[in-house]
Structures are given as C-alpha cells and as structure tokens.
Structure 1
Amino acid sequence: MRSISSIFILTLIPIVSFAQIRISDPTRVVERQAENRANRKVDQAVDKGFDSLEEGIGNMFKKKKKEEEVKGEKGETGGKGGREEGGVSERADGEGANEAAVSGKSEKGSLKSYSKFDFIPGDKVVAVEDFSQDAVGDFPAKWNTNSSGEVVTIEGTEGKWLLLGPEGVFYPEFVNALPENFTLEFMLASTSDFSFYSGYLRAIIAEVADPAKNFTHWKSFDGDKKNGIELGLHPKNAGGQQGLAFFNVFGADPAGSLMKNEKSIPAFHVHDHNPVKISIWRQKTRLRLYVDDFKVWDLPRAFNQETKYNFIGFSNAGYHQEADKYFVSNLRIAVGAPDTRSKLITEGKFSTTGILFDVNSANIKPESYGVLKDIATVLTENGTVKVKIIGHTDSDGDEGSNLALSKKRAASVREALSKDFGVDAARLETDGKGEAEPASPNGTSEGKANNRRVEFLKM
C-alpha cells in the first residue's frame, strides 16, 4: 500500500479528512481568464447561473421523438419522468443517490446481458462521492480545479452530477492513497450531439510532485507530471455511430513499446448509451477498463510497480462548441484484492458490497454479474458446501422497512445463483439483518456503502 497525494485519488486507511476547495482567489481567476480568452466566455456563461446553461444543453439525453414514442409503446423508457423532456433540473433527489440507477438505464439489460462482465470491486469501500453535501450551482467543496464547474442535476437521472468546465483538471482532495489493488467506478455523461472535435474526457492515474501546489499551471494535464497512465473516452468516433477510447502510458513505460492504443467502443454512443458506467480495476500491474458491460482494455503490464501513484483525476482538453459538456457522478473507490474462495471456504465467511440493487428494491443490478459469477464458481467447485445468504442495509429510512428489504435482497441473490448460475437452491438459505449489524459507522457515505452488503456464511 502506498501513500499518495490526491486528484482523483482514494483515501486508504485511514480516510483523510476532507479539505475545502481553493479556487476563489480573484487574482488567480483573472490570470486564468487572461491566458485563455476563449475559456472566459464559457466561464462567464457558467457564472450567470444554471438557466443559461440549461438553454445551451436543453436537449441533453433527448432521443428522437419517434424513437421515444416507440419505446414508450413498448414500456421501455423506464424511470420516473422518462427522457422526453431531458435537460438540466434544479431539483435535488433524496437519499440513496449513490446506489441509484439512471432513469431509463435500469432496464437496458438483464443480469444475463452482462454475461461477459467479470468486474469485481475491491473488498472495502474507502471513498464515495455523490455530491449530496453540495448545493446545486456550487463547485463541490471536496474538489479542486484550475477551470470551472458546478454541481447540477439532470432531469431523468437520480442524484447530482459535477459538470466539468472547459480545458482543465478536476480532482477530489479527500483521496490520498492508492494501493496496488483497487477499483474505481463512476458514472459518465455528455450532452447529446456532442462534437467529434471536442476533447476526450481523460481519467488520469499518475505520480505527481504536488497536485495541490501545481494544479493552477495545468490546462489539460500538460504541466508537472512524472509517470502514469491516461484513459480517454469520447462519445463519438468519426462515423458518429460509436464512442472512442484511448490508452496512453507516459513517463516510465512498463510495457516498453506500448505507449498508446486506440479503439472504438460500441458501449458509449451518446444517442444509445448515455450515461454510462465506467469501471477501472487495478491488480498490481494489470489494468482492466469497462464501459457498462463492455471490456475496453485488459492490459497485464499497464501499471509500473515501481511508480508511486499518488494522483487520480479528470482532465478535459477543451470543448469545440459551447454546448458540449461532460458530467461525472457516483464515484466509488474500493481497495483490496477479491479472494472469495479463501474467505468463504477457509474462513467460512464472505461479505461483499459488489452486489448492487435498485434503490429501495430487491432487483439486482446487472453490473453485479461478475461478483455473483465468482461466488457461484466457488460454490460449484465445492459442491458439498451450504451457505446462508444474509442481506444488510444502511440506517437510512425506517428500521422495519430496512429489515424487510434486507430479507428480500437475500432471497433475490439466492434466486439469481440458482436460476442464472445453476447452484442448487437447496444449498442456500437466506436471512436479513436490516441495519442491525453495521460493518462501519453510518455517519459517512463510505460507511453506508460498506453497510449495504450481502454476507455469505458457510454452514
């Protein structure tokens, strides 16, 4: 486990106290605007408030009217409010946003549709960011940037989003450690009709001298950096029918000749799959990147074990047209290498936060497939083992309702293991504890995420 500074980085053990952003220095703002007059126009538009922004991106996530009518007739729109009036809204959703499915996305696929999705999140959630503590219109208090941005809500989706301003770097200051095994998940959206000529949204994992000191000099992360990788995503390739991804190693290159690679990604096209879930999985030197259920990269030598990675953040190289925007939400960072077999068979107990459910529901989200498959494999290879499946919730809501929900979720897991993975249901018992046995204090988002778990006890 290595300590690090921050930008998209995660808090290890212990989680560092949150710092406030420092972007309100008038001198710095003037200097930045003098450097880039083009950016100033966008900054001024953002400063005028959300109404002017809404006018520029009012067609966000809007599909063609005919397409929506067809889906409406088939009952496929899903979610509250549908997408027909998609745009930015100033309403703030309630609790459960960090587990919420985007409206219209929860029905995009069944559990089986993720049959090639082998992503397994880390054992312990150490950082969750859903912007619930931030007011709409403000830059999030736990982040820093050398550009501009603000917390927004998007009609037809749950929770809050961070709108990324033009040409800059954005990172959370509360993350300061990045081990050799971790997973990073977040939701990514863009405005519809996104220009092919606008820049990629880059997720950067790097070794940086001092991000808090040097970030004001960066534009698209061209400033002070040493070693690291860049994972770039764009919602449109030249043909406009697919998205585009690139992978780039800078500084010390562990793969020798591998410096950059680029490919089309069918999972990220603005009219078909927006927003999308991004999942990044590091296991020592190995890197996997997924867009929804599509595995974009599986590179065995992407990370350099000698590099002290201390920085994860977003970089935006600039928008070709003012209406183009990227949005991120629901960041989740977990640490530790999964070891289901050892924990369940040897230790007799395995607990996971990787089986996800729709809000206030026992419906299992399809991105839980990798975890369920891993558990099913262990049970299949150990055919005499019987387990009790126990559901747990956080403390939000009514205690009695949480207890009932935890029991229903355990039953859903039992059904999925039996129906979708062929595990004999007679080997599986279920129970639920609700909020009665928390694994972590419920006072933080990270604690609540660790308490929303499914436990497997060997009988």
Structure 2
Amino acid sequence: MYKKISILVVLTCCALISKSQIRINQPSRVVERQAENRANRKVDQAVDKGFDKVEEGIGSLFKKKDKKANEETNSKKVESADKTKTSDADNTPSESNSNTSVTSGKPTLISYSKFDFIPGEKVVAVEDFSQDAIGDFPAKWNTNSSGEVVTIAGTEGKWLMLGPEGVFYPEFVKQLPENFTLEFNLATTSEFSFYSGSLRTVIAELADPAKTFSNWKWYDGNKAKGLELGLHPSGAGGNQGSASFDIFENQAESIMKNDKNIPAFRIPDHNVVKVSIWRQKTRLRLYVDDFKVWDLPRAFNPATNYNFIAFSNQGYHREEDRFYISNLRLAVGAPDTRSKLITEGKFSTTGILFDVNSATIKPESFGVLKDISNVLTENSAVKVKIIGHTDADGDDVANLSLSQKRSESVKEALSKDFGIDKSRLETDGKGESQPATPNTTPEGKANNRRVEFVKL
C-alpha cells in the first residue's frame, strides 16, 4: 500500500514540475537549460525507481536506459552560443557540413558506392543561416510555431532549431519545376524520444503560400495538393529509424501512404544525416545519407503546380527533444552529362563537393563521379581536361592553388575508384578568375564552386 502511494506522489510531483518547465529560446541561456534538463533527469530517476516494481510484471517494454550513459551522450551534442565558424576560401557551410556525425566514423567515397543521387544543374537557393544572428528566427523564413538559429557542438556552421508543433516555411522557395533536387542536413538531440513526432518535408501546391502555409497540418478547405515525406529517428537505443510517405489530393485524405524502416537514422550514434530529394518529372527518389529510401516512378502529379516547400514538426514528447535543419540547397534542371560532354564538348557540375580547406572529395559526390565515369567508359577515345573553380571569398592565390589540387583529386578518384586511364585526364585550376555567376549571393557563390570537364 505504501509503495503504491509513494509512486503516485512521485508521479504527481513530476507532472507539476513538468508543467512549470520553461523552454529556453536564447542560446545565452544554454547553461541554464542544461541545468533544467539535469534536474528533470533527477526526477526521472525517482520515477524510474517507482516503475521498477511495475516493470517486473510486464518485461522490459518500458525500461529506460542508464541515465548516466545518457548524460554522457547528451553532453556530446549541445547548442553552443559562443562557437564561431571559420570557412575556407572556397566553402560556405552549405558545402562543408554534409554527413557530420557526432560519434560515428566519417564515410568514404567508396562507402557511398550505391549512392546514385545527382544534384540539379543550377543552384537556385542556398540556406546556411550565415546571415542570421544566433538566437534569432531566420529572416527569410516564417512559422506558426517558434525556433531559433543555433550552433551545435561538434558540427560547423549554423542550424535552425525547430520549436514545438508547427510549420516552418522558407519563403524564398517560390517555384519547383519538373526537374529539381532538394538537399538538407537534419539533426536531433542525442536522446531523442521514440514517442516524439516525425519531421515531415512538405512539397505541395498552395494558392497563396505566404498566407496559408500554416494551415498545412489542419484541413480548412485549402484544397492543397502535394507530397509529405516523414523522417523519424530510431529513438534512444533504437536500431533504425523510419520514414513515411503520403500523397494528398487535398489535405483531408491521403491517396497513397507508405511506411518504411531506414537503417541510416539511429540514436544516439548517428544524430546528423544528409537528406536528398530528387524529382525527375513524376519520379521521386529519397535518400538518407547513402541509403535510398524510395524510388517511385509516379509520385509527382504532372498537373500539380508545386510551389511550396515546408517542414512540419508534429510535436515533441519531451521538452529537451529537438529537430535541427541546415545547409538547405535547391537546384533545378536535369544534368545531361553525356550530351553536354560528348556533343557540346563541355560539362560543368556543382555536385562534386570537398571538405573545408581541403581537396578531399565528399562521399556524396559519388553519383556525379559515377555518371561522368560511365560517359568516359562508353566513349573510350575521349580525353578530357578537368578544371577546378572557386568563388571569390578569400585570397586569390590560395583559391588558385586549391582549385588545382581539387582537379587533381577528381582525376585521382576517376582513375582509382572508377578505372579511368589517367592518360585520358588532364587537370587545371582557375581559382576565382572565371566566375559563372556574380559572387554577390550565396547561390551565385555555390554555382561558381564547380568542376568543369572539357573535351580535348
């Protein structure tokens, strides 16, 4: 009898304390937030003791992980208000944050051998939040919830921390053609609860996105059409995450739904993933890191005028749970490597990415390199010159040297990993001297950071 009463008292106290929690939105109060979370974990420990007796009769369904281990894991990934970013002469955060993992090893080019994603031909939107102050909601976004720009220990650049249940809308995305790619980094806190909702990426047609974006979750006669792609991490201690896919004729009813387990989104050892979405007319491909979640030939409706992208947060189970997004990159057009290189004599791509201040090729470049190697293999008499280009940030001499080293890295990768004879490959670097677009915007700089292949 006394044990039952004591458990009830602890649960009541926990509920009262939970109601008094305050979500801290200012990074200057990160230390205070951590203190609150630590206090909450102490309450959890007391609750655990009460549940131990109950768990004996129902197995381990509700057993929790060791709190000390969780505290050590959680401490590896926290928002840091004081951390500042240093970028190299060529890379903005949009090029330097991909596949950052807090505790897992860095993937290699070969580890992405099944990754066939090829980004769009021209970058039209880049969002790395570099123009926004820490603690602010980003100026080019809107929401019916709350959020703030933060930094995350162990990663570079800035992130948008998504607040409680709501819709987060990048207002600069206004039109989506029949061929485009959308990439972004997605992160969670290190002890993300299994019971928190998934993050949904919405690609839809809205009559007036600026006025009706917040109605996406609640059907109100808006008659929106589109797709909704949900991603949910495994939860602390889980083996794999999950993904959901819905097609809406209107928001009231999904006409197609599919759920799938994904091995690429585990907590706590893999809290940061790269999400890549590829539309080719009606075809949809979705990747999480190098794992292809879906390849659906008839997902997009050719009669729908897709003009809206947003992120929908279904709500957090715990106060400390959070989703973060960064390095959003939208590119349009369907690259035609074979035609441009063989027929036109020159092919340029922004899809070969490099580490910061380095000529090391990022593993997500595999699809582009594979596509180029296929063309060279099928046209065995063709020789090409590989030319590296940078944007205008930083020292021009350093940019020139970096572009030359990167062209050499591409040559080495094509030879070593794809079997192209080195005698068919020449290299050169132009640095910032031949911009394809003005270096006045993030999108312009992204298009200038490119690798050209010129037929000899």
TM-score scaled to structure 1, two decimals? 0.82
Change in 2 beyond 3 A, CA 1:316/1:257 = closer
Match of 1:146 in 2: 144
Change in 2 beyond 3 A, CA 1:57/1:452 = farther
| Whole-Å separation in 1 of the counterparts to 2:404 and 2:67 | 41
- Residue of 286, 304, 307 corresponding to 1:289: 286
Q: 1:53: Cα distance to partner? A: 4.2
Q: 1:384-436 deviations in whole A, cap 9, x for unaligned?
A: 00000000011111110100000000000000000000001100000000000
**Alignment map for 1:7-406 (pairs within 5 Å):** 45-46=24-25, 50-51=29-30, 52-55=32-35, 85-90=76-81, 91-95=83-87, 96-101=92-97, 102=100, 107-217=105-215, 220=217, 222-223=219-220, 224-236=222-234, 240-251=238-249, 259-406=256-403
- Residue of 428, 432, 456 corresponding to 1:435: 432
Q: 1:209: Cα distance to partner? A: 2.1
- Matched to 1:143, the amino acid is W
Q: 1:247: Cα distance to partner? A: 0.5
| Whole-Å separation in 2 of the counterparts to 1:47 and 1:427 | 56
Note if contact 1:191-1:326 (Cα within 8 Å) is conserved in structure 2.
Answer: yes
Q: 1:194: Cα distance to partner? A: 1.1
| Whole-Å separation in 2 of the counterparts to 1:111 and 1:310 | 34
Q: 1:34-75 deviations in whole A, cap 9, x for unaligned?
A: xxxxx99887532696424455679xxxx99999x9xxxxxx
Q: 1:219-263 deviations in whole A, cap 9, x for unaligned?
A: x4545342101000000279821101000111179xx99610001
Q: 1:86: Cα distance to partner? A: 2.9
| Whole-Å separation in 1 of the counterparts to 2:368 and 2:218 | 35
| Whole-Å separation in 2 of the counterparts to 1:57 and 1:183 | 38
The CA RMSD over aligned residues, in Å, is 2.9
Q: 1:92: Cα distance to partner? A: 2.6
Note if contact 2:77-2:102 (Cα within 8 Å) is conserved in structure 1.
Answer: no
| Whole-Å separation in 2 of the counterparts to 1:423 and 1:145 | 49
Q: 1:174: Cα distance to partner? A: 1.2
Q: 1:293: Cα distance to partner? A: 0.2
Change in 2 beyond 3 A, CA 1:238/1:192 = closer
Q: Which of structures 1 and 2 has the bigger CA Rg? A: 2
Note if contact 2:126-2:330 (Cα within 8 Å) is conserved in structure 1.
Answer: yes
Q: What secondary structure does 1:88 align onto?
A: coil
Note if contact 1:57-1:191 (Cα within 8 Å) is conserved in structure 2.
Answer: no
Q: 1:103: Cα distance to partner? A: 6.0
Q: What are the ranges of 5 or more consecutive residues in structure 2 without an aligned counterpart?
A: 1-17, 39-65
- Matched to 2:294, the amino acid is W
Change in 2 beyond 3 A, CA 1:361/1:221 = farther
Q: What secondary structure does 1:370 align onto?
A: helix
Note if contact 1:98-1:130 (Cα within 8 Å) is conserved in structure 2.
Answer: yes
> Deviating runs (4+, > 6 A) in structure 1?
39-43, 63-67
Note if contact 2:27-2:79 (Cα within 8 Å) is conserved in structure 1.
Answer: no
Q: 1:328: Cα distance to partner? A: 0.1
Q: What secondary structure does 1:259 align onto?
A: strand
- Matched to 2:319, the amino acid is E
| Whole-Å separation in 1 of the counterparts to 2:108 and 2:436 | 30
- Residue of 439, 444, 447 corresponding to 1:447: 444
Note if contact 1:168-1:221 (Cα within 8 Å) is conserved in structure 2.
Answer: no
Change in 2 beyond 3 A, CA 1:197/1:404 = same
Note if contact 2:191-2:236 (Cα within 8 Å) is conserved in structure 1.
Answer: no
Change in 2 beyond 3 A, CA 1:257/1:323 = closer
Change in 2 beyond 3 A, CA 1:280/1:64 = farther
Change in 2 beyond 3 A, CA 1:259/1:354 = same
Aligned-pair identity (%) = 68
Q: How many aligned positions are there?
A: 403
Change in 2 beyond 3 A, CA 1:44/1:105 = closer
Q: 1:349-391 deviations in whole A, cap 9, x for unaligned?
A: 0000000000110000000000000000000000000000000
Q: What secondary structure does 2:409 align onto?
A: helix
Note if contact 1:201-1:326 (Cα within 8 Å) is conserved in structure 2.
Answer: yes
More displaced 10-residue stretch of structure 1: 89-98 or 113-122:
89-98
Change in 2 beyond 3 A, CA 1:448/1:43 = farther
Q: What secondary structure does 1:332 align onto?
A: strand
| Whole-Å separation in 2 of the counterparts to 1:191 and 1:404 | 39
| Whole-Å separation in 2 of the counterparts to 1:189 and 1:444 | 26
| Whole-Å separation in 2 of the counterparts to 1:153 and 1:125 | 25
Q: 1:193: Cα distance to partner? A: 1.7
Note if contact 1:50-1:137 (Cα within 8 Å) is conserved in structure 2.
Answer: no
Note if contact 1:57-1:87 (Cα within 8 Å) is conserved in structure 2.
Answer: no
